[in-house]
Amino acid sequence: MIEYVSLTDSNLDEGLEVLNRNLVYDQTTIDQFKHNTIGDPDYDPDLALLAVQNGKPCGLIVAVSRQDNQNRNGGIKFFAVDSEFRNQGIGSALISRVEGKLAEMGVRSVNVGFTRPNYLLPGVDPRYTVACAFLLRRGYKRYGEAFNMDVDLGASDWCTRDLEERLAKQGIIVERLRADEIERFRQWMAEDGWSAGWQYQVMRAATMDPIAVFVGKRWEDGRFVAFACYDGVRPGWFGPMGTTESMRGTGIGSVTFLKCLQDMKAKGYPVCEINSVGPLYFYSKVANAVVSRIFWQFEKELTTSV
Protein backbone atom coordinates (compact mmCIF):
# COMPACT_ATOMS: atom_id res chain seq x y z
CA MET A 1 0.00 0.00 0.00
CA ILE A 2 1.27 3.46 -0.91
CA GLU A 3 0.73 6.48 1.32
CA TYR A 4 1.28 10.07 0.27
CA VAL A 5 2.31 12.23 3.23
CA SER A 6 3.40 15.84 3.53
CA LEU A 7 7.09 16.54 3.70
CA THR A 8 7.71 18.22 7.04
CA ASP A 9 10.53 18.75 9.49
CA SER A 10 9.90 15.26 10.90
CA ASN A 11 10.65 13.39 7.66
CA LEU A 12 13.12 15.70 5.90
CA ASP A 13 15.94 13.16 6.18
CA GLU A 14 13.83 10.55 4.41
CA GLY A 15 12.92 12.98 1.65
CA LEU A 16 16.57 13.93 1.18
CA GLU A 17 17.54 10.28 0.87
CA VAL A 18 15.03 9.80 -1.96
CA LEU A 19 16.31 12.93 -3.70
CA ASN A 20 19.97 11.97 -3.44
CA ARG A 21 19.32 8.42 -4.63
CA ASN A 22 17.90 9.84 -7.84
CA LEU A 23 19.49 13.23 -8.53
CA VAL A 24 22.95 11.78 -8.93
CA TYR A 25 24.38 14.98 -10.46
CA ASP A 26 22.98 17.16 -7.68
CA GLN A 27 23.82 15.58 -4.35
CA THR A 28 22.31 17.84 -1.72
CA THR A 29 22.99 18.56 1.94
CA ILE A 30 20.29 18.58 4.59
CA ASP A 31 20.74 22.34 5.04
CA GLN A 32 20.22 23.01 1.33
CA PHE A 33 17.27 20.60 1.21
CA LYS A 34 15.67 22.33 4.17
CA HIS A 35 16.16 25.71 2.48
CA ASN A 36 14.47 24.46 -0.70
CA THR A 37 11.53 22.86 1.14
CA ILE A 38 10.24 23.96 4.53
CA GLY A 39 12.61 26.94 4.48
CA ASP A 40 10.92 28.46 1.43
CA PRO A 41 8.70 31.42 2.47
CA ASP A 42 5.96 29.96 0.24
CA TYR A 43 6.27 26.39 1.55
CA ASP A 44 2.93 24.57 1.48
CA PRO A 45 2.70 21.05 2.98
CA ASP A 46 0.04 20.17 0.42
CA LEU A 47 2.60 20.76 -2.34
CA ALA A 48 5.47 18.81 -0.78
CA LEU A 49 4.74 15.09 -0.76
CA LEU A 50 6.60 11.93 0.12
CA ALA A 51 5.42 8.58 -1.26
CA VAL A 52 5.81 5.72 1.21
CA GLN A 53 5.25 2.06 0.36
CA ASN A 54 5.11 -0.39 3.26
CA GLY A 55 7.05 2.06 5.41
CA LYS A 56 9.76 2.71 2.79
CA PRO A 57 10.01 6.22 1.27
CA CYS A 58 10.17 5.72 -2.48
CA GLY A 59 9.02 8.94 -4.16
CA LEU A 60 9.09 12.67 -3.68
CA ILE A 61 7.73 15.86 -5.20
CA VAL A 62 8.13 19.45 -4.01
CA ALA A 63 6.21 22.27 -5.64
CA VAL A 64 5.40 25.86 -4.79
CA SER A 65 2.88 28.56 -5.60
CA ARG A 66 3.92 32.21 -5.61
CA GLN A 67 1.97 35.42 -6.01
CA ASP A 68 3.41 37.70 -8.70
CA ASN A 69 1.49 40.97 -8.92
CA GLN A 70 -1.98 39.89 -10.07
CA ASN A 71 -0.93 36.40 -11.10
CA ARG A 72 -0.40 33.24 -9.10
CA ASN A 73 2.41 31.13 -10.50
CA GLY A 74 3.18 27.50 -9.86
CA GLY A 75 6.32 25.46 -10.17
CA ILE A 76 7.70 22.02 -9.41
CA LYS A 77 11.11 22.27 -7.78
CA PHE A 78 12.04 18.62 -8.12
CA PHE A 79 10.52 15.14 -8.18
CA ALA A 80 11.90 11.64 -8.00
CA VAL A 81 10.81 8.01 -7.80
CA ASP A 82 13.25 5.23 -6.92
CA SER A 83 14.01 3.04 -9.92
CA GLU A 84 12.58 -0.15 -8.40
CA PHE A 85 9.24 1.61 -7.80
CA ARG A 86 8.80 3.14 -11.23
CA ASN A 87 6.04 2.21 -13.66
CA GLN A 88 3.65 1.67 -10.75
CA GLY A 89 1.85 5.00 -11.07
CA ILE A 90 3.65 6.64 -8.15
CA GLY A 91 5.12 9.50 -10.17
CA SER A 92 1.79 10.13 -11.89
CA ALA A 93 -0.02 10.16 -8.55
CA LEU A 94 2.47 12.62 -7.06
CA ILE A 95 2.33 15.05 -9.96
CA SER A 96 -1.47 14.76 -10.32
CA ARG A 97 -1.95 15.66 -6.65
CA VAL A 98 0.28 18.69 -6.98
CA GLU A 99 -1.29 19.83 -10.26
CA GLY A 100 -4.76 19.50 -8.74
CA LYS A 101 -3.82 21.55 -5.70
CA LEU A 102 -2.20 24.24 -7.84
CA ALA A 103 -5.29 24.43 -10.04
CA GLU A 104 -7.48 24.88 -6.96
CA MET A 105 -5.24 27.81 -5.98
CA GLY A 106 -5.87 29.49 -9.33
CA VAL A 107 -2.54 28.63 -10.97
CA ARG A 108 -2.92 28.59 -14.75
CA SER A 109 0.41 27.07 -15.70
CA VAL A 110 3.16 25.19 -13.91
CA ASN A 111 6.86 25.15 -14.77
CA VAL A 112 9.46 22.65 -13.68
CA GLY A 113 12.70 23.55 -11.93
CA PHE A 114 13.03 27.32 -12.16
CA THR A 115 10.92 28.30 -9.14
CA ARG A 116 12.67 31.61 -8.53
CA PRO A 117 13.95 32.87 -6.19
CA ASN A 118 14.21 29.63 -4.16
CA TYR A 119 15.18 26.67 -6.33
CA LEU A 120 17.68 23.85 -6.63
CA LEU A 121 18.02 23.78 -10.44
CA PRO A 122 17.04 26.28 -13.17
CA GLY A 123 15.32 23.52 -15.14
CA VAL A 124 15.76 19.79 -15.75
CA ASP A 125 19.17 18.43 -16.66
CA PRO A 126 18.46 16.28 -19.75
CA ARG A 127 20.79 13.63 -18.34
CA TYR A 128 17.81 12.87 -16.11
CA THR A 129 16.32 11.47 -19.29
CA VAL A 130 13.64 9.37 -17.58
CA ALA A 131 12.33 12.52 -15.87
CA CYS A 132 12.25 14.45 -19.16
CA ALA A 133 10.37 11.64 -20.89
CA PHE A 134 7.93 11.44 -17.98
CA LEU A 135 7.16 15.17 -18.21
CA LEU A 136 6.58 15.00 -21.96
CA ARG A 137 4.16 12.10 -21.49
CA ARG A 138 2.33 14.13 -18.84
CA GLY A 139 1.69 16.99 -21.27
CA TYR A 140 4.58 19.28 -20.37
CA LYS A 141 6.19 21.20 -23.21
CA ARG A 142 9.79 22.28 -23.43
CA TYR A 143 9.82 26.06 -23.85
CA GLY A 144 13.44 27.05 -23.28
CA GLU A 145 16.73 26.21 -21.69
CA ALA A 146 19.34 27.62 -19.34
CA PHE A 147 23.00 26.82 -18.92
CA ASN A 148 25.69 26.99 -16.26
CA MET A 149 29.40 27.67 -16.72
CA ASP A 150 32.35 26.36 -14.70
CA VAL A 151 35.52 28.14 -13.62
CA ASP A 152 38.51 26.03 -12.57
CA LEU A 153 39.48 27.87 -9.39
CA GLY A 154 42.92 26.25 -9.34
CA ALA A 155 43.84 27.84 -12.66
CA SER A 156 44.67 31.28 -11.22
CA ASP A 157 44.99 33.35 -8.06
CA TRP A 158 42.38 35.74 -9.55
CA CYS A 159 44.43 38.79 -8.68
CA THR A 160 42.53 42.09 -8.86
CA ARG A 161 45.28 44.51 -7.81
CA ASP A 162 45.60 46.40 -11.12
CA LEU A 163 41.85 46.58 -11.62
CA GLU A 164 41.31 47.84 -8.09
CA GLU A 165 43.97 50.53 -8.52
CA ARG A 166 42.20 51.70 -11.66
CA LEU A 167 38.86 51.85 -9.82
CA ALA A 168 40.42 53.68 -6.88
CA LYS A 169 41.39 56.50 -9.24
CA GLN A 170 37.66 56.79 -10.02
CA GLY A 171 36.82 56.87 -6.31
CA ILE A 172 35.51 53.29 -6.18
CA ILE A 173 36.45 50.52 -3.76
CA VAL A 174 35.40 46.86 -3.79
CA GLU A 175 35.25 44.89 -0.56
CA ARG A 176 33.29 42.28 1.33
CA LEU A 177 29.91 43.49 2.53
CA ARG A 178 30.03 44.20 6.27
CA ALA A 179 27.40 42.96 8.70
CA ASP A 180 26.58 46.54 9.75
CA GLU A 181 25.89 47.44 6.10
CA ILE A 182 23.40 44.68 5.29
CA GLU A 183 20.21 46.63 5.95
CA ARG A 184 21.47 49.70 4.06
CA PHE A 185 22.54 47.44 1.22
CA ARG A 186 19.11 45.79 1.16
CA GLN A 187 17.49 49.22 0.83
CA TRP A 188 19.87 50.19 -1.96
CA MET A 189 19.06 47.06 -3.95
CA ALA A 190 15.36 47.91 -3.79
CA GLU A 191 15.93 51.58 -4.66
CA ASP A 192 18.25 50.69 -7.55
CA GLY A 193 15.61 48.44 -9.09
CA TRP A 194 17.05 44.98 -8.52
CA SER A 195 14.39 42.28 -8.48
CA ALA A 196 12.92 40.87 -5.28
CA GLY A 197 14.23 37.47 -6.36
CA TRP A 198 17.80 38.68 -6.62
CA GLN A 199 17.45 40.50 -3.31
CA TYR A 200 16.33 37.23 -1.72
CA GLN A 201 19.33 35.32 -3.07
CA VAL A 202 21.88 38.02 -2.20
CA MET A 203 20.48 38.36 1.30
CA ARG A 204 20.90 34.61 1.77
CA ALA A 205 24.54 34.91 0.69
CA ALA A 206 24.85 37.67 3.29
CA THR A 207 23.97 35.14 6.03
CA MET A 208 27.01 33.00 5.23
CA ASP A 209 30.11 32.98 7.42
CA PRO A 210 32.05 34.78 6.13
CA ILE A 211 29.54 36.95 4.26
CA ALA A 212 29.61 35.74 0.63
CA VAL A 213 28.81 39.13 -0.92
CA PHE A 214 31.26 41.64 -2.39
CA VAL A 215 30.20 45.21 -3.14
CA GLY A 216 31.48 48.20 -5.02
CA LYS A 217 31.15 51.54 -3.19
CA ARG A 218 31.99 55.19 -3.80
CA TRP A 219 34.68 56.59 -1.49
CA GLU A 220 32.97 59.94 -1.06
CA ASP A 221 29.65 58.81 0.36
CA GLY A 222 29.74 55.02 0.68
CA ARG A 223 27.00 54.66 -1.95
CA PHE A 224 26.77 51.11 -3.32
CA VAL A 225 27.24 50.78 -7.05
CA ALA A 226 27.75 47.02 -7.62
CA PHE A 227 27.51 43.59 -6.04
CA ALA A 228 28.33 39.95 -6.63
CA CYS A 229 27.76 36.91 -4.45
CA TYR A 230 28.00 33.16 -4.23
CA ASP A 231 26.25 30.41 -2.23
CA GLY A 232 23.01 32.39 -2.41
CA VAL A 233 21.25 29.74 -4.51
CA ARG A 234 23.24 26.66 -3.47
CA PRO A 235 26.78 25.85 -2.31
CA GLY A 236 29.47 26.43 -4.91
CA TRP A 237 27.20 28.37 -7.26
CA PHE A 238 28.03 31.97 -8.19
CA GLY A 239 25.43 34.69 -8.69
CA PRO A 240 23.66 36.92 -8.96
CA MET A 241 25.82 39.92 -9.72
CA GLY A 242 25.00 43.41 -10.96
CA THR A 243 26.24 46.96 -11.44
CA THR A 244 24.16 50.10 -11.26
CA GLU A 245 23.42 51.29 -14.80
CA SER A 246 25.47 54.50 -14.71
CA MET A 247 28.62 52.62 -13.65
CA ARG A 248 28.60 49.78 -16.17
CA GLY A 249 31.68 49.42 -18.34
CA THR A 250 34.05 50.64 -15.63
CA GLY A 251 35.34 47.19 -14.64
CA ILE A 252 33.52 47.03 -11.31
CA GLY A 253 31.69 43.87 -12.32
CA SER A 254 34.96 42.13 -13.15
CA VAL A 255 36.38 42.98 -9.72
CA THR A 256 33.34 41.89 -7.71
CA PHE A 257 33.25 38.63 -9.69
CA LEU A 258 36.97 37.98 -9.23
CA LYS A 259 36.73 38.77 -5.52
CA CYS A 260 34.14 36.02 -5.25
CA LEU A 261 36.44 33.61 -7.10
CA GLN A 262 39.28 34.44 -4.69
CA ASP A 263 36.99 33.80 -1.76
CA MET A 264 35.58 30.55 -3.13
CA LYS A 265 39.09 29.25 -3.78
CA ALA A 266 40.14 30.15 -0.22
CA LYS A 267 37.04 28.38 1.07
CA GLY A 268 38.16 25.18 -0.63
CA TYR A 269 35.85 25.02 -3.64
CA PRO A 270 37.70 23.45 -6.61
CA VAL A 271 35.20 24.85 -9.12
CA CYS A 272 32.93 27.87 -9.28
CA GLU A 273 29.68 27.02 -11.05
CA ILE A 274 28.09 30.15 -12.53
CA ASN A 275 24.35 29.77 -12.29
CA SER A 276 21.93 30.32 -15.18
CA VAL A 277 24.31 32.41 -17.25
CA GLY A 278 23.35 35.52 -19.18
CA PRO A 279 26.63 37.15 -20.34
CA LEU A 280 28.55 34.13 -21.66
CA TYR A 281 31.22 36.32 -23.29
CA PHE A 282 31.95 38.19 -20.05
CA TYR A 283 32.60 35.06 -17.99
CA SER A 284 34.58 33.43 -20.78
CA LYS A 285 36.80 36.49 -21.16
CA VAL A 286 37.33 37.31 -17.48
CA ALA A 287 37.76 33.81 -16.05
CA ASN A 288 37.97 31.38 -19.00
CA ALA A 289 34.64 29.90 -17.90
CA VAL A 290 33.22 27.07 -20.01
CA VAL A 291 29.66 25.87 -20.44
CA SER A 292 29.24 22.86 -18.18
CA ARG A 293 25.54 22.06 -17.81
CA ILE A 294 22.35 22.52 -19.80
CA PHE A 295 18.87 22.62 -18.30
CA TRP A 296 15.63 22.15 -20.20
CA GLN A 297 12.68 24.21 -19.03
CA PHE A 298 9.20 22.69 -19.13
CA GLU A 299 5.74 24.15 -18.68
CA LYS A 300 2.17 22.88 -18.71
CA GLU A 301 -1.15 24.73 -18.88
CA LEU A 302 -3.58 23.77 -16.14
CA THR A 303 -7.34 23.79 -16.06
CA THR A 304 -8.11 25.92 -13.01
CA SER A 305 -11.12 25.56 -10.75
CA VAL A 306 -11.77 29.30 -10.52
- Per-residue pLDDT of 188-220, as tens digits, reads 999 999 999 999 999 999 999 999 999 999 999
Give CATH 3.40.630.30 domain extents, the chain: 2-139, 151-293
Give the separation between CA 63 and CA 53, rounded to whole angstroms.
21
Q: Please name which of 231, 244, 165 lies closest in space to residue 201, comparing C-alpha atoms.
A: 231
CATH superfamily of this structure's domain 151-293: Gcn5-related N-acetyltransferase (GNAT) (3.40.630.30)
Q: Which helix (H) or strand (E) holds 297?
A: strand 290-301
Return the percentage of the chain with pLDDT > 70, whole number: 99
Taking only the tens place, the pLDDT of each residue in 215-260 is: 999 999 999 999 999 999 999 999 999 999 999 999 999 999 999 9
Give the pLDDT confidence score for residue 306 in this predicted structure.
Answer: 47
Homologous superfamily of domain range 2-139: Gcn5-related N-acetyltransferase (GNAT) (3.40.630.30)
pTM here is 0.94
Average model confidence (pLDDT) across the chain: 96
Confidence of residue 282 (pLDDT cuts 50, 70, 90): very high
Expressed in angstroms, the distance from the first to the final Cα of the chain is: 33
Which amino acid is located at 95 in the chain? I
- Please check whether residue 34 is in contact with residue 82, taking contact to mean a CB–CB distance below 8 angstroms: no
**Rounded average pLDDT over 256-282:** 97
CA angle 278, 134, 137 (to 5 degrees): 105
Length of the chain as a residue count: 306
Helix (H, G, I), strand (E, B) or coil at 51: strand
Helix (H) or strand (E) holding 174: strand 172-176
pLDDT given at position 304: 58
